[in-house]
Amino acid sequence: MEKKQFQAESKRLLEMMVHSIYSQKEIFLRELISNASDAIDKIYYKALTDESITFHKDDYYIKIVPNQDDRTLTIKDTGIGMTKDELEENLGTIAKSGSLAFKKEVDMQEGQEIIGQFGVGFYSSFMVAEEVTVYTRSLHNEEGYKWHSNGQDGYTIEAYDKEDIGTEIVIKLKENEEEENYDQFLETYQLRSLIKKYSDFIRYPIKMDITEKQPKEDNEEEFIDVIEEQTINSMVPIWRKNKQELQDEDYNQFYQEKHFGFDKPLSHLHVSVDGMVRFQSILYIPEQLPFNYYSQDFEKGLELYSNGVLIMEKCADLLPDYFSFVRGIVDSEDLSLNISREILQQDRQVKLIAKNIEKKIKNHLQSLLKNDRDKYETFFDAFGRQLKYGVYSEFGANKDKLKDLILFYSSKEKKLVTLKEYVERMPEDQEHIYYATGDSHDRIEKLPQTELVKDKGFEILYFTDEIDEFAIKMLMNYDEKEFKSVSSGDLNLEDEETKKEAEKQLEEHKDLFAEMKELLGDKIKEVRLSTRLKSHPVCLSAEGDVSIEMEKVLSQMPDSQNVQANKVLEINNKHEVFQALVNAHESDKEKLKLYTNILYNQALLIEGLPIEDPVALTNDMCKVMI
């Protein structure tokens, strides 16, 4: 049976390619610069095994020349060039990569890399070009050639007298359109920023002639235009430099250059991994919260490079949400890129890198906590909430990873403490980890519910973030010690004598409590004699899983479904007000109603809950005064 070759309609294929592979037109510059760099690398790799070829790094560079008058942009390199056959094969056949073939031929060593592999990058120039002309002379040839195409109906090749070895690609830009300004690719400023963005770490200098105004020698008041050839790219990425040679200032400068933040980074880590997956990374913990951090506008992610060429500005998959504050870069040789180099072909390597990075960040934070507490607290002040969200989210899947990184304010230490520190100094007779919730430390400090726990000499953690109580509910316990709110109904801290006395009092006054409950109706579940209050007359406590603080948070959510805490009004029988209640119960029902309402509203106020009817309350208070 005869086997036939597939035919491809080249013109259509080219059109499809040009318009559908790349999402941004500016990518063409990255592609042509990468080709130029590959062409220089090829001489370099050949020189390693061929003694007849010498390689002096200084002779090799890439030059970008915009010409406003002709509307052309030239990308010139001093690389290996192409013979006539190579021109034919590489630029005449879509998806034929001379670079891929070179890689196989030369049998490249680890760490040696050529960027090209798909054989399509060159054609991206037709996204912006009306026509493209390539002047080239191969290292292996005396003659030069000119290749020309308008991307529509084929190409021509003719002999061309080119003096030096290398390639020059001249792009005649398309006319400007309403929604596309091609002139931008002639602007020095724009070209410079594209080079910095995508090709900053190309190993060879990318040069441009830059015109700068300088004062005249004989008259400093007057300025003249001076043209100077400048190298635009940094060439050696900071992450490939030896850590020992880098100072904090170098890392800080890179943070600023990359516009990771307006602040100085609080801390950085420089990672080089050579295991199942190879990558290098520089990660930063910012000092300050970005203004949009807790808003939907904030995008997490790290810059992702493949061999020094930028692939993605924000690769979100590299960071878990709870470390979304981390900024930085990752460079790997092991990524499987898709044809446009804009997305990753498969994410196995990214997953491996992400896992590795997560571990490194966690260890870094842990050592910061251990060795530089002040710095860690500055960090926690800005981003601690994110870690607590991490404990809570995904049904607590990451709680064990994060539980030792979270801090809470302590009633005893008057500063932030870890759960480990709390548990380690718990007295033997203390069973639970106590916490109290409120808007601020000051407010919690004054909460009546904290009195008994403090009297016992137990430490209380102050929860002021909305997420706190949700996070610890997810954590359930730490070191087998359960968390308990000081407002929970079953503190069980009273001694036997107090309990007995309370039962006696409860029995004696059960009619009073029943009547108060009736007066308050559904607002509360029960009126009870308090054993936790010392100096305050009343407080609210909650029974069951939903605390009063949680009710407050949930009520602000769009689909809150009106979740309510089971509230209990606790009355302190040692307070003088209690006798007034007993008297009113015996002789004046109207007064009992008045007192009950006032006390209930007082309890709401202490909890920071809204008063249902403030006017009625003020009227009630006036009645007491008259």
Q: Is-contact 115 307, C-beta < 8 A?
A: yes
Residues 229-288 that bind ligand ATP (CB under 6 A): none
Q: Which is nearer to ligand ATP, 32 or 285 (CB)?
A: 32
Q: Which stretch binds ligand ATP (CB under 6 A): 34-42, 397-405, 450-458, 500-508?
A: 34-42
H/E segment holding residue 148: strand 144-149
Spatial distance between the Cα atoms of 474 and 477, rounded to a whole number of angstroms: 9
Q: How many residues bind ligand ATP (CB under 6 A)?
A: 24
By CB under 6 A, residue 99 contacts ligand ATP: yes
- Both tokens assigned to 352: 């491996």
Q: How far is the CB of 173 from ligand ATP (least distance, A)?
A: 19
Q: Which stretch binds ligand ATP (CB under 6 A): 95-103, 143-151, 454-462, 506-514?
A: 95-103
317 burial level (CB within 10 Å; 0-12, 13-18, 19+): middle
Q: Which stretch binds ligand ATP (CB under 6 A): 28-36, 181-189, 402-410, 610-618?
A: 28-36
Q: Is-contact 461 435, C-beta < 8 A?
A: yes
Instruction: Dihedral sign for Cα 268, 272, 276, 278, please.
Output: positive
Helices (H) then strands (E): counts for the chain: 20, 22
Task: Kindly write down the DSSP assignment for every residue of 294-322, as one continuous string.
Answer: TSTT----EEEEETTEEEEEEEGGGS-GG
By CB under 6 A, residue 36 contacts ligand ATP: yes
By CB under 6 A, residue 97 contacts ligand ATP: yes
By CB under 6 A, residue 37 contacts ligand ATP: no
Which residue from 27, 39, 353, 453 is in contact with ligand ATP, where contact means CB under 6 A?
Answer: 39
| Residue found by looking up tokens 């498969």 in the block | 346
Q: Which is nearer to ligand ATP, 21 or 436 (CB)?
A: 21
Which residue from 27, 33, 66, 121 is in contact with ligand ATP, where contact means CB under 6 A?
Answer: 121
By CB under 6 A, residue 119 contacts ligand ATP: yes
Which residue from 33, 43, 120, 315 is in contact with ligand ATP, where contact means CB under 6 A?
Answer: 120
- Distant-in-sequence, close-in-space partners of 84: CB < 8 Å, separation ≥ 6: 143, 145, 157
Q: Which is nearer to ligand ATP, 140 or 425 (CB)?
A: 140
- Distant-in-sequence, close-in-space partners of 397: CB < 8 Å, separation ≥ 6: none
Which residue from 74, 112, 117, 188 is in contact with ligand ATP, where contact means CB under 6 A?
Answer: 117
By CB under 6 A, residue 306 contacts ligand ATP: no
Q: Which is nearer to ligand ATP, 90 or 267 (CB)?
A: 90
Which residue from 46, 71, 116, 285 is in contact with ligand ATP, where contact means CB under 6 A?
Answer: 116
Instruction: Tell me the three-class secondary structure of 505-572, residue by residue.
Output: HHHHCHHHHHHHHHHHHHHCCEEEECCCCCCCCEEEEEECCCCHHHHHHHHCCCCCCCCCCEEEEEEC
Separation of CA 272 from chain center: 20
By CB under 6 A, residue 597 contacts ligand ATP: no
Q: Which stretch binds ligand ATP (CB under 6 A): 79-87, 293-301, 364-372, 505-513?
A: 79-87
Q: Which is nearer to ligand ATP, 116 or 265 (CB)?
A: 116
By CB under 6 A, residue 90 contacts ligand ATP: yes
| Residue found by looking up tokens 């190298």 in the block | 231
Binding-site ranges for ligand ATP (CB under 6 A): 31, 35-36, 39, 77, 79-82, 90-91, 97-100, 116-123, 167
